[in-house]
Amino acid sequence: MSSRQITIIANWKANLPPSEEVALAKEIAESLLGALPKSGLPSDVRVLLAPSTLGLVPVASLLRREYPHSALEVAAQDVSLSIPGAFTGEAPAEHFVGIAPAVIVGHSERRRDHGETAEVVGGKLARAVAAGLAPVLCLGDDLPRAEIASRVAYVEEQSVATFAAAERAGCSAARLLAAGLVIAYEPVWAIGTGNPASVEIAEGIAAGLRSALNREELPVLYGGSVDAASAAAWFGTSTARTSLDGLLVGGASLSADRFATIVRAALSAAGSAQ
């Protein structure tokens, strides 16, 4: 049985208003109650719900008040480059402290729709770590027909540029890793298409990043058209785990039943299923 923790993150993006996010969180918690051991979510499986910024507080409050046994947590979808101050509309990292222990940084949609460069993403990583948040760094390629080696080289180059930017912002790679950095490989060509990358591709990326950072225990998740029906393939079994450490789930996380199926697959792979 592997001792590596499996992390599942539900990224709800901007799909739901806060009231519906609270309702969905309640559905997910209720759906998981029968799958969890009596002691609650085991330490080798971590589940985070990432609602909208407006939904963070009510979702976190619901989970802590009504479902503390579930150990479900929340994560922020993004963080500002700014410090607290006169910055209208911004969400500084410090404002998430005590609400969300982790934050997604550099999602492909932020890079695409808001022009977030490696410099911006690196700066956000530094701001998150300075505030005490664990960053979930999204990296990915837009090479649908490339060989695995080409993908690995592309993503490694992306990571090097991002870590260099974080260093310039005052956060070294060592500090990022010590803060609990998680990397999510999300191939741009797979997101929202219903056609995920293969486990082989994702494992190749994970191996390349761990080698480049000289950190064999670096947690690497996969994200991009994750399907509940095939979730188990990403984890393997309790006696033959894949080298991946979890999933960043988009559309499938908007259904309590589908997301609960993914979590149950993780519990089974961790050897913790009821």
Q: How far is CA 263 from CA 47, 89, 246, in A?
A: 8, 34, 10
Element (H, E) at 139: strand 134-139
β-sheet bridge partners, residue 247: 8, 222
Would you list the DSSP string of 172-184?
A: -HHHHHHTT-EEE
Q: Which of 254, 264, 255 is nearest to 231 (CA)?
A: 264
Enzyme catalytic residues: 107, 186
Burial class from Cβ neighbours inside 10 Å (0-12, 13-18, 19+) for residue 113 reads exposed
Contact 159, 205 (CB under 8 A): no
- 175-190 burial, b if ≥16 CB within 10 A, otherwise e? bbeebebbbbbbbbbb
CB 48 within 8 A of CB 102: yes
Helix, strand and coil percent figures for the chain, each rounded to 5: 45, 15, 40
